[in-house]
């Protein structure tokens, strides 16, 4: 390995030894940059890799809130402002009991390169809390969000840092947080994205990550295999925002989606998922995916998550969470005929799973390229807020499609230019990295 990369990796592993998810993504990205680093000695001179792997700012804070019975709870809140070279920090907020600094740093690090790939002027950040929204009443969610924002508002702003949704944060939570920001700051600005359509939100933002995932996948299938979604069987994990709109677009493009999941188990509907049933369960009633079989008795429900990857499919779209496909699940997918994997979730494939895809010639669209449609549309929401204007659904959708096709080609071209033609993981890392590096070099170092 290149000596500079080796040295930086060793330093990060020593300094952040207790952050396995962060180390996983840093290792993946740095290892794919070997040729670039060899060709650009000026990066080492400017300490670029050391600077890139250390967040500009990490904010950790107490979030105190009261439940409906009057009991006081304390959670931990985070915002990692990772890199502002190309624009204000931008990235989602995750509310899930598993949230810790390692997870927020891995998501923030990925976000730097993803946001760079969108071609829009946004830096990388991420935040969240170990608060568990499951089983909480609306008023408990509201009090938590208000308390979280009471502290977070000190550090964010429309030109500084613009959070959005991620796992556990959708329109309801963004609304409560926005209301509190406005109350405290007396400002109606684009400080959050994913807002409601009546108060500054963008059409297509709700659909954007899932739709964008399918637009990029469709372009990959067309350009690398002269193929398309039409007539394909698709397995999608998760049943949240990304999974639902990936199902909708894949179906519109002629595929049959046969499985969805949540953290308890998965449903298999060989006739094709009825999305109106899923939307009613998940978006209206906030229920569990197993309720699908009550409405569609010909479908089956199985407890446990990883079994979903044993269902035969042509295309797999993991849209739940990190490390949900391990080496063994990847082997299962390949054995059953899967020829393309595109990641809606962030880092859903373990390094062992990625090695299986690469060994088996599976087309692989990595998360930072494939799921960039959400944040790209967030950046379009910021533009509309600055303009005090709003574009139609069709206008935003067309921009999203153009951006996703452009991301595929930027990744493909970079993979070719740096001697790894068709390796979209290397291409995404390289293309994302080069733009951030050039911005960092332009802006100098603080002495
Ligand atoms: P949601 O909260 O809407 O849905 C998350 C889904 O994933 C749920 O079905 C949930 O099941 C499941 N899930 C979450 N954690 C786990 C876990 N530990 N094990 C198994 N299943 C789990 O989130 P999103 O759809 O917004 O996010 C899904 C993924 O997409 C995440 O990786 C996120 O980072 C990524 N992403 C999201 C974007 C967005 O715009 N929202 C943009 C780009 C990426 P359950 O209900 O049981 O928890
Ligand atoms: O992982 C992601 O890109 C997101 N959760 C969306 C971030 C955003 O700012 O829209």
pLDDT given at position 414: 98
Q: Which atom of ligand 2 lies nearest, measured to the CA of 346?
A: 1
Supply the pTM of this predicted model.
0.98
Q: What angle do CA 225, 227, 231 make, to 5 degrees?
A: 145
Give the residue, by CA position, lying nearest to ligand 1 atom 47.
263
Active-site residue 274, yes or no?
Answer: no
pLDDT given at position 446: 76
Instruction: List phi, psi (to 5°) of 126.
Output: -160, 155
Q: Which atom of ligand 2 lies nearest, measured to the CA of 194?
A: 10
According to DSSP, the residues that pair with 365 across neighbouring strands are 342
pLDDT, one tens digit per residue, over 298-346 is 999 999 999 999 999 999 999 999 999 999 999 999 999 999 999 999 9
Cα separations in angstroms, 332 against 231, 341, 356: 21, 13, 10
pLDDT band of 392, cuts 50, 70, 90: very high
What are the start-end ranges of the E strands in 310-360? 315-317, 340-342
Given a cut of 80, is residue 232 above it in pLDDT? yes
pLDDT, one tens digit per residue, over 379-388 is 999 999 999 9
pLDDT given at position 249: 99
> What value does the mean pLDDT take over residues 117-141?
98
Instruction: List phi, psi (to 5°) of 320.
Output: -110, -70
Give the residue, by CA position, lying nearest to ligand 1 atom 31.
345
Instruction: List phi, psi (to 5°) of 261.
Output: -150, 175
Out of 206, 285, 292, 320, mutate this one to test ligand 1's pocket (max ligand atoms within 8 Å of CB): namely 320
Instruction: Decide: 90 in ligand 2 pocket, CB within 6 A.
Output: yes
pLDDT given at position 368: 98
Instruction: Decide: 213 in ligand 2 pocket, CB within 6 A.
Output: no
Q: Which helix (H) or strand (E) holds 235?
A: strand 233-236
pLDDT given at position 52: 98
For 142, the token pair is 């509201």
pLDDT band of 1, cuts 50, 70, 90: confident
Given a cut of 80, is residue 138 above it in pLDDT? yes
pLDDT band of 435, cuts 50, 70, 90: very high
Instruction: List phi, psi (to 5°) of 52.
Output: -65, -30
pLDDT, one tens digit per residue, over 239-295 is 999 999 999 999 999 999 999 999 999 999 999 999 999 999 999 999 999 999 999
Distance of CA 160 to the CA centre of its chain: 21
d(C-alpha 74, C-alpha 153), whole Å: 18
Give the residue, by CA position, lying nearest to ligand 1 atom 48.
263
CA of residue 165 to ligand 2 center, whole Å: 6
CA of residue 345 to ligand 1 center, whole Å: 7
CA of residue 371 to ligand 2 center, whole Å: 8
Given a cut of 80, is residue 447 above it in pLDDT? no
Out of 109, 371, 381, 384, mutate this one to test ligand 2's pocket (max ligand atoms within 8 Å of CB): namely 371
């Amino acid at each position: 390995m290149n000596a500079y990369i080796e040295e930086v990796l060793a330093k990060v592993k020593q300094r952040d030894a207790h952050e396995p998810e962060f180390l996983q993504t840093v290792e993946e990205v740095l290892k794919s940059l070997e040729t670039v680093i060899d060709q650009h000695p000026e990066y080492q001179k400017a300490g670029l890799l050391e600077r890139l792997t250390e967040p500009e700012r990490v904010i950790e804070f107490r979030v105190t809130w009261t439940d409906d019975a009057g009991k006081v709870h304390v959670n931990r809140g985070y915002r990692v402002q990772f890199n502002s070279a190309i624009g204000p920090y931008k990235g989602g907020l995750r509310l899930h009991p598993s949230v810790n600094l390692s997870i927020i740093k891995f998501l923030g690090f990925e976000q730097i390169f993803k946001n760079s790939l969108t071609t829009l002027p946004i830096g990388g950040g991420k935040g969240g809390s170990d608060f568990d929204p499951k089983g909480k009443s609306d008023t408990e969610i509201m009090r938590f969000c208000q308390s979280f924002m009471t502290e977070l508002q000190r550090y964010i702003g429309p030109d500084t840092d613009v959070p959005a949704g991620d796992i556990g944060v959708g329109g309801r939570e963004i609304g409560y947080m926005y209301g509190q920001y406005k109350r405290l700051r007396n400002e109606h600005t684009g400080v959050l994205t994913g807002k409601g359509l009546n108060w500054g939100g963008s059409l297509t933002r709700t659909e954007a990550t899932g739709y964008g995932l399918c637009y990029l996948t469709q372009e990959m299938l067309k350009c690398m295999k002269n193929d398309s979604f039409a007539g394909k069987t698709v397995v999608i994990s998760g049943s949240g925002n990304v999974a639902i709109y990936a199902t909708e677009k894949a179906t519109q493009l002629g595929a049959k989606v046969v499985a969805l999941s949540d953290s308890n188990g998965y449903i298999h509907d060989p006739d094709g998922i009825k999305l109106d049933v899923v939307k009613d369960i998940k978006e209206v009633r906030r229920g569990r995916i197993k309720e699908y079989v009550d409405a569609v008795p010909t479908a089956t429900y199985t407890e446990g998550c990883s079994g979903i990857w044993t269902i035969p499919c042509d295309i797999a779209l993991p849209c739940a969470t990190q490390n949900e496909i391990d080496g063994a699940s990847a082997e299962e997918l390949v054995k059953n005929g899967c020829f393309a994997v595109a990641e809606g979730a962030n880092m859903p494939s373990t390094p062992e799973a990625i090695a299986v895809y690469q060994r088996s010639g599976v087309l692989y669209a990595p998360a930072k390229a494939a799921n960039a449609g959400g944040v790209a549309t967030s950046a379009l929401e910021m533009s509309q807020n600055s303009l005090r204007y709003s574009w139609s659904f069709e206008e935003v959708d067309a921009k999203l499609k153009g951006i996703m096709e452009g991301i595929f080609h930027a990744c493909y071209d970079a993979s070719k230019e740096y001697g790894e033609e068709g390796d979209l993981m290397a291409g995404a890392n390289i293309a994302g990295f080069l733009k951030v590096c050039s911005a960092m070099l332009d802006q100098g170092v603080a002495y």
